[in-house]
Structure 1
């Protein structure tokens, strides 16, 4: 297809810079990673922020964090560059601002660097190295130049990684497990079964995500194990393994029943516990759905668009295990751990083009010409000429056998209904 000639194939993708927009009708402004960095850091209790940028960036920041003072005394300040600083740098002004935040009682400050100070090469790391011995406030920083990426997930994972730089080595607590990627206030999302069982077995779960406290992060280096349930927290887990020798087990990127078996066995081994038959019912449901899917999904072609925080490449790799063929993949972010799944897909003979889909009105005609059997992703209010599964977002916060059952049962329901009716399920599907 001529519409796809400008796109790179999956095997050629090394970073976000290689992922092109599907059509020219893109509006990437809302995808600025600064927004995500502020939204996350503004919800960490006890963490202050200093955003450095032009008036456009700092004014926009007030749409994310409206008040200069947080509910728990956090300071959310802005440093607005003047015309002289845009040319000659802003070192002295930043130093003075950080000293003022220290005097005002900030416990820790995340410095968020936007495009202009990053382009002119302001040495924030050098400033922190120089001033840290002079103040009580702990300092860390994150580079959020939008010119380096087309999207916003890096605003989450880079911010978490920067907060992780405030951690210090602690004595290991054998009954403490960090859960990376779930909020302690996320009551609207059911607690995954494996986490509930760990609590029943006497383990203390510390949740590291939005709405956690700064102290949760500062104390996190004492955990016996990190369980990762979000792609945004995987880089933090890798860093903690390197710096503090805390092993991690990733559950956010696996769907296959036998891979889940392996991960749960590893959790038991790391924590010196033995699972009984607690998961057996859920496992059997997932295994039954998986075996049924192998008979129905083989040969079906799909397009994967924006599916929330679900990682597109591991998801696509799982689907190709049923013999499904990916025609086009939307990658909101190229994560460091995507490499192994890219390798899996290519070794199976699949190497689809990769893109950013931003504008429904221009993107949908391109998708229709590909004639997929099924389309994963959110397309609000559109009438489509292909089966559309838009509630993939409902997988958020789910892991393990339960997530696999939920996913496959929805897909099986779609194709059961399609077979019974003798025609395609149209108009947003039924999932």
Structure 2
């Protein structure tokens, strides 16, 4: 890795809440929280809501507090967030030589060789993303990915002073940030690890940067060693422009209400199997096993508890939604027990590989060509007209067991019947 390499981390500010504000300019100065599936708990907060609501706080406990402080709650709208995320990432990729999408709201960028003032370049990126998507971002620039993450943290922490962009390629600026950042704020250092480090006298990011890397490796792990080296300015992490195929694919949801009959549970599992199959085909993989599990609520002392799963071996490596749905239904029939109130189901695809990587014998059954063609048409139609346009007959159009999202905003960018209207 070159010593002159420069990384940037572009991170969307309060991303879910910012997405909600894009099409609701009337909420520009109103604190916002976004809730988890079934409106369970708080999973995102705008900056002005953070002093009043804790992350993960159950919604039913926070209702009165939200009302008292004028905080508006939204159900999670993942279709909207995913679409806006793609727009932000596309803008970033068009402005830099290389980029790595790290999460739905974060992207590392390679700024190596870009001429001129990098701080100004970061401000230009920030202004363009805000102008084209309405999403505010912070930009951290440094010689390593870990330092770029730290610079981004500083840009958000001192947003008024920095304008949302911090460049610590200069050693003096880097050392100031390291000295003024607690070790628990370093990327990859959690609460438990920071407690061990503080017991060794390592309390700031600067302390970790100066610690002996080999001692850290022997006492903790190679990951902590690399983190210390990166803080000291030695690049150890490359930019990963292509995500490796996942080794497992999971689709898991809480039901909108408790289910007692097997028919709606099968419908729900068929829905999850179809979504998992879409993800499987998107990464060009096939699977040989599927595991299905169902369970009741586990925290109500007045309800009987039950949880069970079943593994199904598929007849051949496949990404066929129809075959996976049949296998999932078979698993539900094996593990369902009457007399319980079920709250959640999960579909897990296992033993994933690329086509041709399975070493079966010459006469082994393989996925029919007709199945490949059918799945290709299915994905093409759903890609053009929206997910769920075409699905298996076992999946109802409007299930009564669907997720409870009573405060969900409109899908402004993904559904033509919910486009933004300007009067």
TM-score (ref. length: structure 2)? 0.25
Structure whose residues are more often strand by fraction:
2
TM-score (ref. length: structure 1)? 0.25
Bigger radius of gyration: 2
